[in-house]
Every structure is written in C-alpha cells, then in structure tokens.
Amino acid sequence: MGRILWLLGAGIVLFLVRIVLFKTGLIHMVKKWRRTIVDLFHVYQHYKVPEFNEVQENHLYRKVYTYLNSLSSIEDSDFTNLFTGKKSNEIVLRLDRNQVVGDEFLGARVCWTNGEDENGAKSFVLKIRIADKRRILGPYLQHIHTVADELEQRNTELKKLFINVKNKRWRSIPFNHPCTFDNIAMETDLKNKVKSDLESFLKGKQYYNRLGRVWKRSYLLYGPSGTGKSSFVAAMANFLDYDVYDVDLSKVADDSDLKMLLLQTRGKSVIVIEDLDRLAKSTAVSVSGILNFTDSILTSCAADERIMVFTMTGKENIDPAMLRPGRVDVHIHFPLCDFTAFKTLANSYLGVKEHKLFPQVEGIFQNGASLSPAEIGELMIANRSSPTRALKYVINALQRDGNVRRSFLENGSRRSEDASSEMSGPLCGGGGGGGGGSSPGVKEFRKLYGLLRIKSSRKSESYDAARD
C-alpha cells in the first residue's frame, strides 16, 4: 500500500513539474542546457555561407535563406519576424539576424545561425558534427538546392522591384505595376516593333553565345516628362516577367561603386537608370561611367540575360559616342501627345472611341498645340464621370497651350526657364457648360524645346534599333 502511495505521489510531483516547466518557459531553458551538455561530448565543424562572394551575390546564400524560412523549426528561435504573405490574411515567418534554427537530415541534427557582423555583412553558419559530415554534408546541401528551387519556382509569378540603398546594397519590394503593352498609350506599329524585339531577345541565348556576345539588350527612352517612359519600363518588365532594378545615382559614390552595385544584380531583370542627362550632372557618377559599363569586360560577369534601360529628356547634351550601338542598342522617342495617342487615351480612360468633339480636338492638334499624355490622362481621370466634360477640359488645356506657343513665337522670346502657368477652376465643375469656358486645375509644365516643338518633328521615326 505504501509503495502505491509513493508511486502516486511521485507521479503527481512529475506532473506538477511538467506543468511548471511548460507554463513558465523553463522547458526552453532545460532544452538549451541539454544541447550545451551534449555539445561538450561532440566535435563540430562550421561552414559559413556569406551573402556576397567578394562583390557578386552568393546564390547559395539565397537558397539557404529560402530553405530555412520554410522550416517549421523556425518557430523555436528566440526571435522571429512576422510578415503578410501573398494573401491579406496569410502570415509568414522570417528568421531574424543572429538567431539559431535547427534541422534534421538522415538522422543527423544540424544548426544554422543567421549572422550579421558590425559592418552589416550577412551570412549563414552551418554547424555540423564531424562524425556526420562525410555522410550527410553533400546530400544535405543538394537537398537545400532542390527544396529552394521548388519554392522559388512557386513564387516566379511574384516579380520584385529592387532599389539601392547605401553601402552598395539592394532592397526589394513586390512589383505589381498594372501597366502592360495592352493598355499603354503608344502607336500600334511601334508597340509591335518593341514586342518583337523583346521576344527575339528572350529566344536569343544561343544566338548571342554563338556570336560571342553577352546576352543583353539596352534601350534609351527619351522625351519630355509625362510622356510615358516609366510606364513603358513597367510594361517591358511585365511582358518579360522580369524583376526591376531602379538605380538611384544619388546614393552611388562614384563610377567604381556603380560597377559594384550592378555586379550584384540578378539575371532576368530590367535595370533602369532614369533622368540620365539630369542626374549625371548632379551626382558623382559620370555618363561615360554609366554607359561604359554596358560594353565593358565586367558586362560578361553581370549583364547576361538583362535589359538595361536609360531615360532622358533629350539627347542634345549627350555625346553621340556615348549612345553608340553596343552601349545603347535601341532608341525610342516619346513625344508629346498627338491626336492618335489622344484617341487611345480617350478609349482607355473614358471608354470613348468616337465623340462629336473629336474633330475639334484634331484641329487643335493640327495647329501645333500639344500636351503630355500624363496631363491629358489626369484631366480625363478627374472628369471620368462625364466624357463630354473631360474632353472640354482637354480642349481648353490644348487651346491654352496653343496660345502660349503663338505668344512665345510672336514675341520672339528666348527665355531659358520653364514656361508654366497655373490653371484655375474646378476639376469637376457642376453645370453651366461642364467646364467649356473654365480652366482645368492642373499645371502646364513646358520646357523651352517643348514650346518650340513643331508638328513635323513629331512625325520623325520614334524607334531606332541598331542591328546586331
């Protein structure tokens, strides 16, 4: 009888101890002590996987990162980050820096530490028993490759936009820009030429290799602000299903730093440097340094399967040698809006293919007036509930633009500053003619060359591709 009572008492005590351990978190400390004691009886070897291999990205680091964040044991680390997943109600876990996550493979236990040193250099450190090393190291690393590839394959539909920060590093956010070649306002013939050129590029790996050339393509988009250059880049990325790297030159110290930054980009990407003519004058990076990268020996290391895009307002101040084939293959001009582009915008923004005001709009365009697609688009968005009112606002803005041009030419003015005027009046006026006699509430931003533009200049070739 006493033995039974003793066993019952011992069971109650063990039960209470278990409750105390789990309820107070002492079990976590006990496990850590147990691992520490076990470690004293084993010899371990450590393998470091740095984020960068000198200047280029270490692809194994990315695969280990993807693999570790898929493990359920990540929940056991002391500190774990929570992020919103693909769906709004989905929560995903991400390992934080200097945290440890355990894994098991073929009966052997290994540990990974997500490290970061004082200089911000990231790495993963694998801790594995020497007794298990020969048996599992090779198969385990291959297992990581396989699992990471499968996970990345599932996420291929999620494109990313990369932006550069200080210390020559990239940070990314999801890229979900809605612009495509189907909804972009552009001449059909030009659009088809670009799509054909991109399709040829996608299929051209063997062709480029046979020629001994790097598998890349470079574009120059030039024209006034608001003519759709940035939207065109988004349409290219969506068509190719590529990531986008948006280079901020103001955060690049010099030409050498720019090279190091570009060396860290990945394949299947569109690398964009916007406002090249303006930014190069206000940063430590030279235009020649930027364009030389596209045809230098470093290109063979960091430009394969990439599209490089440069944008600028005009080519007048750039040495033509800087824009030669090999550095820039395709030149595309983005002019101010003409009547054809206007009809495309009216169809997209207002759902109008024909309207009684179209002949009046066409006549104003023929007289030399013009606006950027962005300006016309904003007027249509603001008045989308009434297509007639929207068109009247556009007509009023075009007439004002024509008056400014005529006044400028008649007076013989040679002002070099921007000619801009503030328009008054409600964006969505109520009655009384629907805005036909009032001014839209947007600003007309006009450069000198924009004011001097004549209609014949817009009829020139917009697409100039250098043959390989």
Is 340's pLDDT higher than 70?
A: yes
Task: Measure the CA–CA gap between 361 and 371, rounded to whole angstroms.
Answer: 12
- Single-letter residue type at 230: S
**pLDDT tens-place string over residues 88-102:** 666 777 777 778 888
Average of per-residue pLDDT across 176-190: 85
What is the structure's pLDDT at 419? 33
Tell me: pLDDT of 151 over 90: no
Residue 206 is part of a domain; what is its CATH number? 3.40.50.300
- The verdict on 196 and 325 lying in the same domain is yes
Name the residue with tokens 């060359």: 449
| φ, ψ for residue 426, nearest 5 deg | -70, 150
Q: Which helix (H) or strand (E) holds 330?
A: strand 330-333
Q: Which residue has the higher pLDDT, 258 or 408?
A: 258
pLDDT in tens, 287-310: 777 776 666 666 666 667 889 999
Give the pLDDT score at 44. 83
Percentage of the chain surpassing pLDDT 70? 71
**Among the three residues 123, 154, 185, which one is the final residue of a domain in this structure?**
154
* 201 and 316 part of one domain: yes
| Close Cβ partners of 105 (under 8 Å, ≥ 6 residues apart) | 136, 139, 140, 143
What range does the domain containing 143 cover?
41-154
- Comparing 45-59, 165-179, 368-382, 448-462, the range with the smallest average pLDDT is 448-462
Mean pLDDT throughout 208-235?
89
Does residue 27 form part of some domain?
no
220, 352: one domain = no
Residue 8 inside a domain? The answer is no
Element (H, E) at 83: strand 80-84
Judge whether 101 lies within some domain: yes
Last residue of a domain, one of 88, 122, 154: 154
| Region of residue 228 (phi > 0: left; psi between -120 and 50: alpha; otherwise: beta) | left
- The residue assigned the tokens 């606006």 is 371
Question: Of 335, 366, 396, which marks where a domain is finished?
Answer: 335
Q: What is the pLDDT of residue 43?
A: 77
Residues 93 and 129 in one domain: yes
Are residues 262 and 235 both part of a single domain? Answer: yes
Same domain, 215 and 354: no
What pLDDT band is residue 167 in, cutting at 50, 70 and 90? low
Higher pLDDT, 398 or 16: 398
Give dist(CA 288, CA 273) in Å, integer. Answer: 13
Residue 444 sits at the vertex; the CA angle it makes with 441 and 450, to the nearest 5 degrees, is 165
Q: Rank 2-11, 70-79, 110-119, 399-408 by mean pLDDT and report only the highest.
A: 110-119
Write the burial class of residue 155 (CB in 10 Å: 0-12 exposed, 13-18 middle, 19+ buried): exposed
What is the spatial distance between Cα 356 and Cα 334, in angstroms, rounded to a whole number? 28
> Residue 230 pLDDT more than 50?
yes
For residue 427, tell me if it sits in a domain.
no
**Is the pLDDT score of 373 beyond 60?**
yes
- The answer as to whether 224 is a domain residue is yes
397 near 444, Cβ under 8 Å?
yes
The pLDDT value recorded for residue 449 is 33
State residue 39's pLDDT score.
64
Query: Which of the two residues, 31 and 395, has the higher pLDDT score?
Result: 395
- Residue-level pLDDT at 345: 87
Choose the weakest-confidence range: 122-131, 244-253, 289-298.
Answer: 289-298
Whether the pLDDT of residue 196 is over 50: the answer is yes
Q: Which residue has the higher pLDDT, 373 or 282?
A: 373
Provide the pLDDT for residue 298. 60
Out of 45-49, 108-112, 124-128, 258-262, pick the least confident: 258-262
Looking at the structure, tell me whether residues 377 and 415 fall in a common domain. Answer: yes
| Mean pLDDT, the chain, integer | 76
Q: Residues 431-443: pLDDT tens digits?
A: 333 333 333 333 3
Judgement on whether residues 344 and 321 belong to the same structural domain of the protein: no
Question: Which DSSP state fits 107?
Answer: T
- Averaged over 228-234, what is the pLDDT? 92
Q: Is 86 helix (H, G, I), strand (E, B) or coil?
A: coil
What pLDDT score was predicted for residue 283? 72
Do 113 and 218 belong to one domain?
Answer: no
What helix, strand, coil percent values describe the chain, rounded to 5?
A: 45, 20, 35
Give the residue-averaged pLDDT of 349-371.
89
pLDDT score recorded for residue 441:
34
Alpha carbons 389 and 192: distance in angstroms, whole number: 33
Residue 185 lies in a domain: yes
> 51: which 2 tokens?
């984020």
Average pLDDT over residues 317-331: 79
- Model pLDDT for residues 397-452, shown as the tens digit of each residue: 888 876 666 565 556 544 434 333 333 222 223 333 333 333 333 333 333 333 33
Q: Using CA atoms, how far apart are residues 167 and 279, in angstroms rounded to an integer?
A: 20
Same domain as 194, residue 76? no
Contact 346, 380 (CB under 8 A): yes
| Residue with the larger pLDDT of the pair 264 and 440 | 264
Are residues 110 and 203 part of one domain?
no
Provide the pLDDT for residue 85: 64
Number of domains in the chain: 3
Question: Which residue has better confidence, 251 or 118?
Answer: 251
Q: Is the pLDDT of residue 83 over 90?
A: no
Position 435 in a domain: no
Predicted local confidence at residue 402, as pLDDT = 67
Query: Strands 330-333 and 216-222, how do they pair?
Result: parallel
**Nearest-5° Cα angle at 95, 245 to 80:** 125
Residue type, 316: E
Q: Are residues 249 and 137 in the same domain?
A: no
What is the average per-residue pLDDT within 366-384? 88
* Token representation of residue 317: 């101040």
Give residues with Cβ within 8 angstroms of 62, minimum separation 6. Answer: 148
**Across the chain, how many H-helices and E-strands are there?**
16, 18
Question: Of 362, 371, 369, 397, which is closest to residue 455 (Cα–Cα)?
Answer: 369
Is the residue at 350 inside a domain?
yes
Query: Can you give the pLDDT at residue 140?
Result: 92
Q: Rounded mean pLDDT of 133-153?
A: 88
Question: Which residues are paired to 56 by β-bridges?
Answer: 53
Give the pLDDT score at 36.
Answer: 67
